[in-house]
Amino acid sequence: MYGQFKTIDEANRAVIDKVVSGSPFLVDVVPAKSVIEELNGKALLHAGPPIKWENMTSPMQGSCIGAALFEGWASNADEARTMLENGEVEFIPCHHVNAVGPMGGITSGNMPVLVAENRDGGNFAYCTMNEGIGAVLRFGAYSDEVINRLGWFRDVLGPTLSKAIKVKGDGLNVNVMMAKAITMGDEFHQRNIAGSLIFLKEITPFILQTDVDDKDKQDVIQFLADTDQYFLNIAMASTKAVMDSARQIQHGTVVTAMCRNGHEFGIRIAGMGDQWFTAPVNTPQGLFFTGYDQDMACPDMGDSAITETFGVGGFAMIAAPGVTRFVGAGGMDDAVSTSNDMMEICIDHNPNFSIPTWDFKGSCLGIDARKVVETGIEPVINTGIAHKEAGVGQIGAGTVRAPLACFEKAIDAYAVKLGLIEPAVNE
Amino acid sequence: MLYTIVKQNSYQDSVNLMLLTNKISTMEGINKVQVMMGTPANKDIFKGAGLYTDELEGAASNDMCIVVDTDSEELIQAVLDEVDNYLNNQALSSSKEAFETVRSWDKATAALPGANLAIISTPGQYAAEEAEKAIDRDMHVLIFSDNVAVEDERRIKEKAHEKGLLVMGPDCGTAVVSGVPLAFANVMKTGKIGVIGASGTGIQEVTTEIDRLGAGISHAIGTGGRDLSEKVGAITMLDGIKALAQNSQTEVITLISKPPAKEVRDQVVQLLQSLSKPVVAIFLGEEPHNHEGNVYYANTLEETAAIAVDLVKGNPIKSNYNTLQGDVPAVELKPEQKTIKGLYSGGTLGYEAATLISRGINFDNSGDHAEGYLLNANGFEVIDLGDDIYTQGKPHPMIDPETRIQYFQKAAQDESTAIILFDVVLGYGSHEDMASALIPGIEKIQKEAQANGKNIYFVATVCGTDQDPQGIDDQKAKLAKAGVILRDSNNQAVLTALAMLDITIAEVQKEVVPAKETATAEITVSEAIQKLLTEKPNVVNVGLKKFTEAITANGGRVVQYDWRPVAGGNPRMRKVLSVLR
């Protein structure tokens, strides 16, 4: 019934074994269209499960307009909007093409993407690069500043990092960087400053060895030094590569993806392969910059919940005391109980990422959708909060919960697929 | 007007500063405020919020920038003080709890290896399921929940019995094992009297009386009210008696029950008579006339405790312990004031009062009663205000005074009422100061009665010990000050109330007669039960969090299981989960 596995528990164990053995390396930075065939046409990737233009949040629509301008499909915002409204651009979930994208997740062919290779599974995953804070595409801004920065990414940052990684030769071992950073207070979603520093420390010597012109080297290093969240996108591509390898085992109830498009939250479980199970997204709660409040918060967006799927992010709250107060105004005790709560819905600890503040227990490993339904404990996700109007950008940060209904639908469908229960009549 | 303060080289994490900003913005007279480090990105945020000033231009990334929009310049110093105060006092007040909180059985047993007792206080419909999960994990169970089907009770108890485990309850309100009070329990001296009872407040009355008389208890095991019914067959009672018989800390066994089914009674008595230890038994409502061999029968809860204490102290057993003690207060009553209204929070205390009063007024109280009534005869009433019909949607009267005060008033309006009789039950779980909560209601009634030219007397007993969190002396002093006539036991309170109306009860003198020959029963007690009665328990508390307090305060270890119904009680999901095992 469960393939080569006798029980669901055994299948789940096999899936999480693949997560533990996952071995992601950052091997290149390339134009998206060179690795994602679909982006050679008029197509955009977006975060979350499939969505139509009319259901997108204002920031995600703003990102689409920005991408259309960046790609030169339109000469101004109005033209771009008309084109998008007329259905001239195909929308594809990042997750359908081995990719993940933060916030709106909008990715176009000429944007450079980080390439993570999982040397255990032999598969690849991709993610755009972090733009820093302020006016950025992922929050729906499409001013000249944003478009120009993307141009610099395409012309300077991407190629320079690609060259530097090639000087290194065999790629950068991401597990090693993450294992160090988690002991330095990162949880890889809200806080990535340690990972970003480690990356800077690793890559700088190789940047210096490239043939890139000095001014560009200087700018690249300055950008990396200024961008506290740079490592988030490396972690996203890497955890995506690992989870994709694990979900080749198509049995059991381990959650293999969680993502949000501002309209719906979607999850996948191993036993149901590529199928999405969706429910309306929640809106994050948290702390806001002055002048902004909860009413202005955009509903939950982004593929960055791949980090929580992997067992870090909100699940590793205890690793990142510096950001625990986003949970409420709590301290270490709240952080411990958040991570302890998340362990109630996970199968084991990941020995690769030992957390000193958690008595050196490993990070959470393997969300079991059954346990989520049984206990009613919804996965917690640490997240930036976008303004609900495009272009305003980030207005705060906080946490949000994955809706229970996704998990209920997933295990229901799995039980039906296995022939263990009749489909519910009223659905 | 905008005021800018730049604190140079004063780095703080952005989260801290957001919290600080929130705090300052609540100060009176502050229109708007923003505290951030002076990074270029943050300066843009100041601009976005309309709080940018020229002074910010010179600020560097390591400078803390405070921009305040206020109409009064005097406030700036207050803001600065608040900033310093906040930054200097960032340590969060963490009230660390003495136990872990979990949300599943697996985590519970992982958090407390060696857990050997579960207290279950979930809604009744789920209690059987959770009890079985505990038994599957080799744990004894105290089921506080009521509304458990009797078939489930039988099944659970049989299963536990086969595994050598003890099930206390369902509807077990109190127990004490190895010095650790469980659920609604009193704190008392440790001693050599082992108590087993099918009634919560019956156990509380006997054990606190034992404590008052200067002895102590080894254990108090609650069986649940239905254990001695034919359907359950006294599974817990029999196992519990054997456990106490074998327990080296227990020298005298005390049994409290309402009259059981005949066959069950015979089985229990046969076991008691086969023991080498002396036993005191009360079957509430029966009127025993003799003691039989090693089994001493008591007529009241007070007598039960008194015999047990004399036995443990090696004193000769008197033929009667039920004599009215103390003076009978003089009363001034109108001719129509002839009745007592008993308004109880403890069901068994009420039951005892009803039994005694009906004897006093020669009323056969064996017939059926309206719900909640324990006695309703010629204006004499005893009501169990803890009965389900009074607690629907309301807290139990041991926790909340409201229902009781309401019934006090109702009783006072009845012209025949001379005396209002009541109980105050102390201990963990009960109201923290019931005396003070009831006194305003009592004083109001007394004042109104006096205004109408009559007296209404309040007679009460406080069930508790001086070690209870509420402190019995304090509770009694408060009630006495309010004019309440207090007696040390429920029996004495009832006898006093009756005597105030010139009603007496014929006292029974009991002699010891030899028991019929009984073979000495072979007593085997499982290791798990022996351990429960020799070591402080490791408890998984499933449900009501307040039960953890008594355990941790008395040297037991506990993990709190914040229970929720599986899958939120969604039947389809429960089914899906059961097939996806």
pLDDT tens digits along A405-427: 999 999 999 999 999 999 988 64
How far, CA to CA in Å, does A52 sit from each of A32, A44, A106? 22, 12, 13
State whether residue A204 sits within 8 Å of chain B by CB.
no
Summarize pLDDT for A358-410 with one digit per residue, the tens. 999 999 999 999 999 999 999 999 999 999 999 888 898 899 999 999 999 99
- The two beta strands, B174-177 and B180-183, are antiparallel
- B36, B39, B580, B581: best to mutate for the A interface, most A CBs within 10 A: B580
Q: Which of A134, A325, A392 sits opposite B19 (nearest CB)?
A: A325
Angle subtended at Cα A334 by Cα A331 and Cα A339, rounded to the nearest 5 degrees: 125
- The two beta strands, B190-197 and A112-118, are unpaired
Mean pLDDT of the region A273-291 = 94
Average pLDDT, chain A: 95
**What is the least distance, in Å, from the CA of B567 to any CA of chain A?**
4
Contacts of B15 in chain A (CB under 8 A): 287, 322-323, 325-326
Class of CATH domain A250-416: alpha beta
What are B440-443's contacts with CB under 8 Å, separation 24+?
A: B441/B401, B441/B404, B441/B405, B441/B408, B441/B409, B442/B408, B442/B482, B442/B483, B442/B484, B443/B482, B443/B483
DSSP A107: B
Confidence class of residue A349 from pLDDT cuts 50, 70 and 90? very high
Whether A414 and B580 lie within 8 Å, measured CB to CB: yes
**What is the least distance, in Å, from the CA of B566 to any CA of chain A?**
5
Contacts of A8 in chain B (CB under 8 A): 580-581
State whether residue A35 sits within 8 Å of chain B by CB.
no
Class of CATH domain B98-169+537-581: alpha beta
Q: How far, in whole angstroms, is CA B42 from its chain's centroid?
A: 56
Contacts of B100 in chain A (CB under 8 A): 340
**What is the least distance, in Å, from the CA of B391 to any CA of chain A?**
29
Note whether B275 and B525 are within 8 A (CB): no
Whether A8 and B19 lie within 8 Å, measured CB to CB: no
Q: Residue B518: which region, alpha, beta or left (left: phi > 0; alpha: psi -120 to 50)? A: beta
Percentage of residues in chain B with pLDDT exceeding 90? 72
Token representation of residue A268: 């996948």
Cα end-to-end span (Å), chain A: 25
Whether B564 and A253 lie within 8 Å, measured CB to CB: no
Mean pLDDT of the region A76-87 = 97
Confidence class of residue A324 from pLDDT cuts 50, 70 and 90? confident
pLDDT at B327: 93
Q: How far is it, in rounded angstroms, from Cα B471 to Cα B483?
A: 19
Mean pLDDT of the region B140-144 = 97
Contacts of B24 in chain A (CB under 8 A): none
Whether A337 and B101 lie within 8 Å, measured CB to CB: yes
What burial class does residue A153 get, using C-beta atoms within 10 Å of its C-beta: 0-12 exposed, 13-18 middle, 19+ buried? Answer: buried
State whether residue A424 sits within 8 Å of chain B by CB.
yes
Whether B99 shows a pLDDT value over 60: the answer reads yes
DSSP A49: S
Domain with CATH 3.40.50.720 in chain B: 98-169+537-581
Nearest C-alpha in B relative to A395:
B45
Nearest C-alpha in B relative to A426:
B572
**What is the least distance, in Å, from the CA of A361 to any CA of chain B?**
14
Whether A106 shows a pLDDT value over 50: the answer reads yes
State whether residue A412 sits within 8 Å of chain B by CB.
yes
Amino acid identity at B201:
T
ipTM surpassing 0.85, yes or no? Answer: yes
Q: How far is it, in rounded angstroms, from Cα A410 to Cα A416?
A: 10
Any idea how long chain A is? Answer: 427
DSSP-derived 3-state class of residue B414 = coil
pLDDT at B220: 97
Amino acid identity at B566:
V
- The string of DSSP codes covering B162-187 is HTT--EE-SS--EEEETTEEEES---
Cα end-to-end span (Å), chain B: 66
State whether residue A417 sits within 8 Å of chain B by CB.
no
Summarize pLDDT for B257-277 with one digit per residue, the tens. 988 889 999 999 999 999 999
b/e string for A282-303 if b means 16 or more Cβ within 10 A?
bebbbbbbbebeeebbbbbbbb
Q: Which of A133, A290, A331 sits opposite B94 (nearest CB)?
A: A331
pLDDT at A425: 81
pTM for the model stands at 0.78
Architecture field, domain A25-235: Alpha-Beta Complex (3.90)
**What is the least distance, in Å, from the CA of A162 to any CA of chain B?**
27
Confidence class of residue B28 from pLDDT cuts 50, 70 and 90? confident
- A9, A143, A290, A392: best to mutate for the B interface, most B CBs within 10 A: A290
DSSP A424: P
The 3-class secondary structure across B24-85, one letter per residue, is HHCCCCEEEEEEEECCHHHHHHHHHCCCCCHHHHHCCCCCEEEEEEECCCCHHHHHHHHHHH
Q: Which residues pair with A113 in a beta bridge?
A: A30, A128
Note whether A334 and A318 are within 8 A (CB): no
Whether B51 and A290 lie within 8 Å, measured CB to CB: yes
A171 Cβ contact partners less than 8 Å away, ≥ 6 residues apart: A25, A26, A27, A28, A117, A165
Note whether B11 and B64 are within 8 A (CB): yes
Mean pLDDT of the region B238-265 = 95
DSSP-derived 3-state class of residue B515 = coil
Q: Which residues pair with A115 in a beta bridge?
A: A28, A126
State whether residue A225 sits within 8 Å of chain B by CB.
no
- A1, A10, A325, A374: best to mutate for the B interface, most B CBs within 10 A: A374
Helix (H) or strand (E) holding A298: none
Summarize pLDDT for B68-82 with one digit per residue, the tens. 999 988 899 999 998
Token representation of residue A179: 């294992």
Whether B162 shows a pLDDT value over 80: the answer reads yes
Query: How many interchain CB pairs under 8 A, A with B?
Result: 100
Whether A374 and B567 lie within 8 Å, measured CB to CB: yes
Least confident range of A243-252, B314-323, B329-338, B508-517: B508-517
Whether A370 and B33 lie within 8 Å, measured CB to CB: no
Confidence class of residue B95 from pLDDT cuts 50, 70 and 90? low
Confidence class of residue B116 from pLDDT cuts 50, 70 and 90? very high
Query: Helix, strand, coil proportions of chain A in percent (round to 5)?
Result: 45, 20, 30
Whether B93 shows a pLDDT value over 60: the answer reads no
Contacts of B96 in chain A (CB under 8 A): 333
Q: How far is it, in rounded angstroms, from Cα A7 to Cα B233?
A: 40
How far, CA to CA in Å, does A289 sit from each of A87, B15, B37, B286, B509? 36, 10, 13, 74, 83
Q: Which of A107, A214, A205, A202 is nearest to A154 (CA)?
A: A107
Q: Which of A133, A134, A376 sits opposite B568 (nearest CB)?
A: A376
Mean pLDDT of the region B320-325 = 94
What burial class does residue B129 get, using C-beta atoms within 10 Å of its C-beta: 0-12 exposed, 13-18 middle, 19+ buried? Answer: middle
Whether A412 and B572 lie within 8 Å, measured CB to CB: yes
Whether A287 and B19 lie within 8 Å, measured CB to CB: yes
pLDDT at A9: 96
B75 Cβ contact partners less than 8 Å away, ≥ 6 residues apart: B27, B29, B30, B68
Q: Which of A134, A343, A415 sits opposite B580 (nearest CB)?
A: A415
pLDDT at B94: 46
Whether B579 and A415 lie within 8 Å, measured CB to CB: yes
Mean pLDDT of the region B143-171 = 95
CATH number for the domain whose boundaries are B172-323+507-535: 3.40.50.261
Q: How far is it, in rounded angstroms, from Cα A336 to Cα B52?
A: 39
Percentage of residues in chain A with pLDDT exceeding 70? 99
- B68, B103, B559: best to mutate for the A interface, most A CBs within 10 A: B103
Whether B104 and A375 lie within 8 Å, measured CB to CB: yes
Residue with tokens 């231009």: B57
pLDDT at B389: 86
Residue with tokens 């018989």: B245
Nearest C-alpha in B relative to A331:
B92
**What is the least distance, in Å, from the CA of A292 to any CA of chain B?**
8
Q: How far is it, in rounded angstroms, from Cα B322 to Cα B545?
A: 40
Contacts of A132 in chain B (CB under 8 A): 41
Token representation of residue A241: 């590569």
Q: How far, in whole angstroms, is CA B225 from its chain's centroid?
A: 16
Average pLDDT, chain B: 92
Whether A412 and B107 lie within 8 Å, measured CB to CB: no
Is B339-500 assigned to CATH 3.40.50.261?
yes
How far, CA to CA in Å, does B541 sit from each of B104, B142, B528, B556? 11, 10, 19, 12
State whether residue A301 sits within 8 Å of chain B by CB.
no
Query: Where are chain A's structural domains?
Result: 25-235, 250-416
Rounded to 5 degrees, φ, ψ at B35 are: -120, 120
Whether A373 and B51 lie within 8 Å, measured CB to CB: no
- The two beta strands, B457-463 and B30-37, are unpaired
Amino acid identity at B436:
S
Amino acid identity at B372:
G
DSSP-derived 3-state class of residue B405 = helix
**What is the least distance, in Å, from the CA of A427 to any CA of chain B?**
12
Whether A300 shows a pLDDT value over 90: the answer reads yes
DSSP-derived 3-state class of residue B417 = strand
Of the options 3.40.50, 3.10.450, 1.10.3470, 3.30.70, the CATH number for the domain spanning B2-88 = 3.30.70
State whether residue A139 sits within 8 Å of chain B by CB.
no
Confidence class of residue A194 from pLDDT cuts 50, 70 and 90? very high
**Are the folds of A25-235 and A250-416 the same?**
no
Q: Which of A291, A411, A421 sits opposite B49 (nearest CB)?
A: A291
Note whether B499 and B421 are within 8 A (CB): no
- The string of DSSP codes covering A339-407 is HHHHHTTEEEEEEEEEEGGGTTEEEEEEEBHHHHHHH--PPEEEEEEEBSSTTT-EEEEEEEE--HHHH
**What is the least distance, in Å, from the CA of B8 to any CA of chain A?**
20
pLDDT at A121: 94
Mean pLDDT of the region A120-149 = 94
Residue with tokens 């993990």: B559
Mean pLDDT of the region A321-350 = 85
pLDDT at A315: 97
